[in-house]
Amino acid sequence: MSVIELVVATHNRDKRKEIESVLRPAGIRCLTLGDIGFTSEIVEDQPTLEGNALKKAVTVSGIALCPAVADDTGLAVSALDGAPGVYSARYSGPNATDDSNIRKLLAALHGVENRTAEFRTVVAFAMPNGPTFTVSGGVTGQITLEPRGTAGFGYDPIFQPDGVARTFAQLSLIEKNQLSHRARAFKAFLDELKRRNLIASKATSD
């Protein structure tokens, strides 16, 4: 079969835009939770990124009765023993925002010299009563002393990938998709869809 339409388990328009920019060249159309009338939040209560991504993909696929894809991303900071990790999205509490998460992380690293960190994204795919799988992608970098840039979302303003003099929030979407954890994970996702013959072999992740 050929997958030509997927529901992406997100309400985040910026995330959808980022994902679509990777999947669109393969002929995949993305719908969001809003497009299918799903207004609730899926509680991410699993202990791993893989668990959260699979829970969201399976839940949405069952509701939409079509293939669904979900991702979960964690920022692991070396000096904080891998925190915030799986709790990255809600690091500053149940009402966390991007700004509050960034403020808490910078406060936790105040005066800390070692600011190395790794972003890792797990992508999960599910079909109604069908197969599921996960793939992942990662990128290493440094946590900056203060936010820089206005693009992107999440921790992008304070994450500077290795070998780049700018944060993710200072990069264009095209530039970010050359090296980001999420782009790498979704390129691996496309490769897995091809390997399983779920999309035409002519579709590429280049």
123-162: pLDDT as tens digits: 999 999 888 999 999 999 999 999 999 998 999 999 999 9
- Residue 14 is a catalytic residue: no
In a domain, 29, yes or no: yes
Task: Identify the band that residue 204 occupies on the pLDDT scale cut at 50, 70 and 90.
Answer: very low
Catalytic entry in 14, 72, 98, 156? 72
Query: Under a CB-based contact definition with an 8 Å cutoff, are residues 151 and 172 in contact?
Result: yes
pLDDT digits (tens, 9 = 90+) for 2-27: 557 899 999 888 888 888 888 988 88
Q: The whole model's pTM is what?
A: 0.87
In a domain, 90, yes or no: yes
> Which residue's entry shows tokens 């328009």?
13
Collect all residues with Cβ–Cβ distance below 8 Å to 184 and sequence separation of at least 6: 121, 137, 138, 139
Q: Give the residue numbers spanning the domain of 14.
A: 5-195
User: Where residue 53 sits, what CATH number does that domain have?
Assistant: 3.90.950.10
In a domain, 184, yes or no: yes
Domain count, the chain: 1
In a domain, 201, yes or no: no
Task: Identify the band that residue 91 occupies on the pLDDT scale cut at 50, 70 and 90.
Answer: very high
